[in-house]
Structure 1
Amino acid sequence: MTAEQETFKRFLEWSFEDHAEDIIRTIVWLNSHMVKIRREYPKEYLAYKALSNQELNQVICEVLLPF
Protein backbone atom coordinates (compact mmCIF):
# COMPACT_ATOMS: atom_id res chain seq x y z
CA MET A 1 0.00 0.00 0.00
CA THR A 2 1.12 3.54 -0.71
CA ALA A 3 1.82 6.12 1.99
CA GLU A 4 -1.45 7.87 1.13
CA GLN A 5 -3.35 4.60 1.48
CA GLU A 6 -1.76 3.94 4.88
CA THR A 7 -2.64 7.45 6.07
CA PHE A 8 -6.23 7.14 4.92
CA LYS A 9 -6.47 3.58 6.29
CA ARG A 10 -5.60 4.77 9.80
CA PHE A 11 -8.25 7.50 9.53
CA LEU A 12 -10.84 5.07 8.16
CA GLU A 13 -10.10 2.57 10.94
CA TRP A 14 -10.55 5.30 13.56
CA SER A 15 -13.85 6.39 12.00
CA PHE A 16 -14.99 2.77 11.58
CA GLU A 17 -14.42 2.09 15.29
CA ASP A 18 -16.13 5.36 16.20
CA HIS A 19 -19.22 4.25 14.25
CA ALA A 20 -19.55 0.86 16.00
CA GLU A 21 -17.80 -1.00 13.16
CA ASP A 22 -20.61 -0.16 10.73
CA ILE A 23 -19.02 0.54 7.33
CA ILE A 24 -22.19 2.06 5.87
CA ARG A 25 -22.46 4.60 8.70
CA THR A 26 -18.73 5.28 8.40
CA ILE A 27 -18.87 5.99 4.66
CA VAL A 28 -21.99 8.14 5.03
CA TRP A 29 -20.31 10.12 7.82
CA LEU A 30 -17.16 10.62 5.73
CA ASN A 31 -19.18 11.79 2.75
CA SER A 32 -21.30 14.16 4.86
CA HIS A 33 -18.36 15.72 6.71
CA MET A 34 -15.80 16.40 3.97
CA VAL A 35 -15.57 20.11 4.87
CA LYS A 36 -14.93 19.25 8.53
CA ILE A 37 -12.40 16.57 7.55
CA ARG A 38 -10.59 18.98 5.21
CA ARG A 39 -10.37 21.56 8.00
CA GLU A 40 -9.61 19.33 11.00
CA TYR A 41 -7.68 16.47 9.33
CA PRO A 42 -5.87 18.07 6.37
CA LYS A 43 -3.24 15.31 6.02
CA GLU A 44 -5.90 12.60 5.89
CA TYR A 45 -8.04 14.65 3.50
CA LEU A 46 -5.14 15.15 1.09
CA ALA A 47 -4.32 11.43 1.28
CA TYR A 48 -7.95 10.60 0.46
CA LYS A 49 -8.03 13.01 -2.49
CA ALA A 50 -4.81 11.51 -3.89
CA LEU A 51 -6.26 7.99 -4.10
CA SER A 52 -7.88 6.41 -7.13
CA ASN A 53 -11.12 4.47 -6.79
CA GLN A 54 -9.18 1.20 -6.91
CA GLU A 55 -6.85 2.37 -4.15
CA LEU A 56 -9.82 3.47 -2.00
CA ASN A 57 -11.46 0.09 -2.51
CA GLN A 58 -8.25 -1.63 -1.49
CA VAL A 59 -8.15 0.42 1.74
CA ILE A 60 -11.77 -0.48 2.51
CA CYS A 61 -11.01 -4.17 1.88
CA GLU A 62 -8.00 -4.02 4.20
CA VAL A 63 -10.13 -2.50 6.97
CA LEU A 64 -12.96 -5.00 6.52
CA LEU A 65 -10.82 -8.11 5.90
CA PRO A 66 -10.75 -9.19 9.58
CA PHE A 67 -14.55 -9.33 9.56
Structure 2
Amino acid sequence: MGQWPSTKAAKVFRALLRIGYAIKTQRGSHVVLTHPERGDYVWAFHDAVEIGPGMLARIAKHTGLHPEDL
Protein backbone atom coordinates (compact mmCIF):
# COMPACT_ATOMS: atom_id res chain seq x y z
CA MET A 1 0.00 0.00 0.00
CA GLY A 2 2.95 2.34 0.55
CA GLN A 3 3.86 2.28 -3.14
CA TRP A 4 0.88 4.49 -4.03
CA PRO A 5 1.32 8.27 -3.87
CA SER A 6 -1.53 10.66 -3.19
CA THR A 7 -2.82 11.63 -6.63
CA LYS A 8 -5.48 13.89 -8.12
CA ALA A 9 -8.63 12.05 -9.19
CA ALA A 10 -8.39 13.43 -12.74
CA LYS A 11 -4.98 11.78 -13.18
CA VAL A 12 -6.26 8.41 -11.94
CA PHE A 13 -9.32 8.68 -14.20
CA ARG A 14 -7.11 9.33 -17.25
CA ALA A 15 -4.92 6.34 -16.29
CA LEU A 16 -7.99 4.09 -16.16
CA LEU A 17 -8.97 5.22 -19.65
CA ARG A 18 -5.41 4.49 -20.88
CA ILE A 19 -5.47 0.91 -19.55
CA GLY A 20 -8.64 0.09 -21.45
CA TYR A 21 -11.60 1.39 -19.48
CA ALA A 22 -14.27 3.28 -21.40
CA ILE A 23 -17.14 5.46 -20.20
CA LYS A 24 -20.34 3.43 -20.28
CA THR A 25 -22.77 5.88 -18.67
CA GLN A 26 -22.72 8.98 -16.50
CA ARG A 27 -25.25 10.43 -14.09
CA GLY A 28 -24.05 13.54 -12.31
CA SER A 29 -20.61 12.91 -10.85
CA HIS A 30 -21.00 9.11 -11.01
CA VAL A 31 -19.39 7.60 -14.09
CA VAL A 32 -19.70 3.90 -14.89
CA LEU A 33 -16.52 2.71 -16.56
CA THR A 34 -16.45 -0.60 -18.39
CA HIS A 35 -13.57 -2.88 -19.34
CA PRO A 36 -13.88 -5.90 -21.65
CA GLU A 37 -12.11 -8.25 -19.21
CA ARG A 38 -12.64 -6.66 -15.79
CA GLY A 39 -16.27 -5.54 -16.06
CA ASP A 40 -17.75 -2.32 -14.73
CA TYR A 41 -16.40 0.11 -12.14
CA VAL A 42 -18.28 3.11 -10.72
CA TRP A 43 -16.14 6.27 -10.54
CA ALA A 44 -17.52 8.91 -8.15
CA PHE A 45 -14.62 11.31 -7.59
CA HIS A 46 -14.45 14.97 -8.59
CA ASP A 47 -11.38 15.91 -10.65
CA ALA A 48 -9.71 18.13 -8.04
CA VAL A 49 -10.04 15.62 -5.18
CA GLU A 50 -6.77 14.16 -3.89
CA ILE A 51 -7.01 10.36 -3.60
CA GLY A 52 -4.84 8.89 -0.86
CA PRO A 53 -2.70 5.74 -0.96
CA GLY A 54 -5.27 3.52 0.75
CA MET A 55 -8.07 4.40 -1.62
CA LEU A 56 -5.73 4.05 -4.62
CA ALA A 57 -4.83 0.54 -3.46
CA ARG A 58 -8.54 -0.37 -3.32
CA ILE A 59 -9.14 1.12 -6.78
CA ALA A 60 -6.15 -0.87 -8.08
CA LYS A 61 -7.49 -4.10 -6.60
CA HIS A 62 -10.74 -3.73 -8.54
CA THR A 63 -9.39 -2.25 -11.78
CA GLY A 64 -5.91 -3.73 -12.27
CA LEU A 65 -4.26 -0.30 -12.13
CA HIS A 66 -0.52 -0.24 -11.32
CA PRO A 67 1.56 2.65 -9.92
CA GLU A 68 3.49 2.91 -13.20
CA ASP A 69 0.17 3.48 -15.06
CA LEU A 70 -0.06 6.89 -13.40
After TM superposition, the score normalised by the length of structure 1 is 0.31
| Structure with the higher helix share, 1 or 2 | 1
| Structure with the higher strand share, 1 or 2 | 2
> Of the two structures, which has the highest relative contact order with CA contacts closer than 8 Å and spacing of 6 or more?
1
After TM superposition, the score normalised by the length of structure 2 is 0.30
